[in-house]
Chains A and B, each alone.
Chain A
Amino acid sequence: MAVVYEFMWRMLHALLHLQRTILSWFRISIWNWNWRLWRRAVATVLVPAVFGFQNHTHNNKKLVPGGGKKSCGRVRWKSDGKSLEKLPLHVGLLIAEEEPRYTDIANLVVWCMAVGISYVSVYDNQGIFRRNNSRLMDEILKQQQELLGLDSLKYSVEFLNNSNDKPEQQVLSCQATVKVLSPDDGKPGIVKAAQKFCQLVEQQQQRSADLDVNMLDSLLRGTKGMPDPDLVMKFGTVDSTLGFLPWHIRLTEIISLPSHINITYEDFFSALKCYAGCEQRLGK
C-alpha cells in the first residue's frame, strides 16, 4: 500500500513541476503578448481545481509576471510613483535564485529610484552580491545612465558600504541609498549587538534589566541605519526569507515574483501596486 501512495505522490509532484515548467516557459517565450488575458486562460486550464495555487484573486501576492512592452518613459516612472496610494520608503530585493543577473537587478534598483523610493537593499542568501559589490555598483551606474539618460544627474545614488559606515561614493544631492546585504547582516548582526550590550554590562555601564526593544534596535542599527524595509520583493520560487534581516522585517510586506531574469517594469510596478493595496492594522 505504501508503494501505491509513494507512486501517487511522485505523480502529483511530477504534475506540479510540469505545471511550473510550462508556466515559466510561457513567461519566457510569450513576454511580448498581452499577458493578463493569457494568464487567466492558462490558469484555468492548468491549475487543478482542488489546489488553488496560482490563485489570481487580488488577495494573493504571488504574481505571474506580465510581458508588456519595454517601457521607456522616465517621466512616466516618476508620475507612476506619485499615483500610488502609498510608496514604500525602503524596498528589499531578495534574489532567491541560483544565478543572479546583474543587469536585471540594476534595472530594478534604477526603477526604484525613478519612482521615488529612497532606500533599496539587495540580498541573496549566498553572499554573492556582497562578494561582487563593485560589479553590482558599476552595473547600477551603467543602467542609471542608460535608463535615465540625461536625467541621471538628477538621480544620485549613495552606496552604503557595510564594513565602515562611510558611503562609497559621495554625490551632490542624495536621492537614493543602495545597500548590499548578505546573511551576515541577519542573525550574526543580532549576535554582534548582543555581544556589544554584554560588554557594556561586563564593564558595569549597563544592567541587564535596562535592555528594552528600542535599545536593542538602536544597537542593531548603528549610526547610519536604514529604516525597516516596508516591502520585500522576493524573486524565485523559494518561499522563504532565507535569512534576510530577521529583526527588521517584522511588518514588511513580502511580495513574490517568479524571477528577476528579464523582469519588466510592468511586473515591478504591479508589485508596488499590490503593496499600495495592503492595509496594516498594527495589532489594532
Chain B
Amino acid sequence: MSWIRKGELTLIERLSANILKAGPMPKHVAFIMDGNRRYARKLHVERQQGHTQGFDKLAETLRWCLNLEIREVTVYAFSIENFKRAKDEVDGLMELARQKFSRLLDEQEDLEKHGVCIRVLGDLTLLPLDIQKLIAQAVLATKNHNKCFLNVCFAYTSRHEITNAVKEAAWGVEQGLIKPCDVSEFLLDECLYTSNSPDPDLLIRTSGEVRLSDFLLWQTTYSCLVFQSILWPEYSFWNLCEAILQYQLNHHALQKARDLHAEARVLQQLEADRCCAAELLQQTGLGKPLDPQLRQQAVQKYTAEREGRVHSFLTALQEKRDRFFTDLNKGFVASAKA
C-alpha cells in the first residue's frame, strides 16, 4: 500500500516496542507533520520535494504505529490557512493529494485486507472538485473497514470545525429536531468531523514549534502534548518511542484530569436537566411539585425525552453527511462513465 510502507521492525526496534507495550499505550495518536519546507531548504532541494518526502515519512510512521498496535492516527495534512501560500506551492500540494488519493483507489484490495478505514476531515468544499470526488470515493470504499483508522485533516482548522459543529446543532434546531438547551458538550462532540473517533491520547508536533496551530483544539484538551525539535521528514522510530514514553509518564495524571472533567460534565448535564424540567413544569402550570419523588420522575422523563431528541437529530445528521459523499461519488461515477 502506498500510504502504509511495507516492512517490519529490526530486532532492536522490536525489543524496544515490546518493552514499551508493557505499559499503557496510546490508542489514538495525532501528528502535526511540520518541517517539510525547512527540510527542503536544509537539503537545498525544491519545496515540493520536501512535501513528497513528508508523505513518504507519513507512510513509514503509519507502519510503525501499526507495529506498535496504535490503531488510530490523525494527521494535519493541509490547513485552511495554507491556502495563503504561494499559488505554485498550493497547486503542488493539491497535485500530491490528487496522486496519493488516486493511488489509494488502485489499492482497494490491500486496504480491505488490512482493514484500513480512511476518513478525510475538513471543509472539503474548499478543494478542487476532482479532489473532492477522489476523496469521496476513498472514504466510501473504506467506510466499513475497522481494523485501523487514518484520519487526514485536509482543508481543516479547528475553529472551522467547531463553528461547523455549532452550525449543525443550529440546523437541528431549525429542523425542529432539538431545542437550544439540548446543546451540550456531548452533542457538540458528535457534531464535530471527528465524531467517529475517540479523543487523541497523544499529540506530536515536529520541527520544534510549540503551538497547536488550530489543530484539534476541542479534542486535545486532555491529550499528552509532545513537541519534538526534529523536522518531519527526518522523523525516526526512536522519536516515536520517545513521544510514547512521554505519554506513559503523563498517563496517570492525565487520566485523573480526564475523569475529573467527565464527572463535572455529568453533574452539569444533570443540573441542566433539573433546571429545564423545573422550567417545563412551571410552563405547564403545575409549578414545582413538593414531592421529591415526583420531581425526580419529572427530571427522568425530561432526560429520556432529551436523549430521544438528540438521538433522532444525530441520525439525521449522519444521513446528511453520508449524502454529501454519495452525491459526490454519483457525480464521479457518472463523469467516469461519460
Contacts and interface: CB of A to CB of B under 8 A. Distances in A.
Interface of A: 1-2, 5-6, 8-10, 12-13, 16, 50-53, 55, 57, 59-61, 125-126, 183, 186-188, 190-191, 193-195, 197-199, 201-202, 206-209, 211-213, 216-217, 237-244, 246-247, 249-255, 278, 280, 282-284
Interface of B: 18-23, 79-85, 157-160, 162-163, 165-171, 173-174, 179-181, 183-185, 188, 208-214, 217-218, 220-227, 229, 238, 242, 245-246, 248-250, 253-254, 257, 260-261, 264, 268
A51 B20 CA distance: 13
A244 B180 CA distance: 25
Contact of B163 (A6, A125, A213): A213
Given A191-B185, A253-B210, A16 B245 contact: yes
A195 B19 contact: no
A216 B166 contact: yes
Ordered nearest first, which 3 A-B pairs have the shortest CB separation? A283-B81, A208-B170, A9-B22
A14 B249 CA distance: 10
A198 B184 CA distance: 12
A45 B83 CA distance: 46
Contacts of B225: 239-241, 254
Contact of A195 (B183, B221, B224, B250): B183
A212 B174 CA distance: 17
Contacts of B83: 283
B82 A283 contact: yes
B173 A201 contact: yes
A278 to B, nearest CB: 7
A181 to B, nearest CB: 13
B159 A250 contact: yes
Contacts of B221: 186-187, 240-244, 246
A207 B166 CA distance: 12
A5 B220 contact: no
B18 A5 contact: yes
Contact of A243 (B170, B214, B249, B261): B261
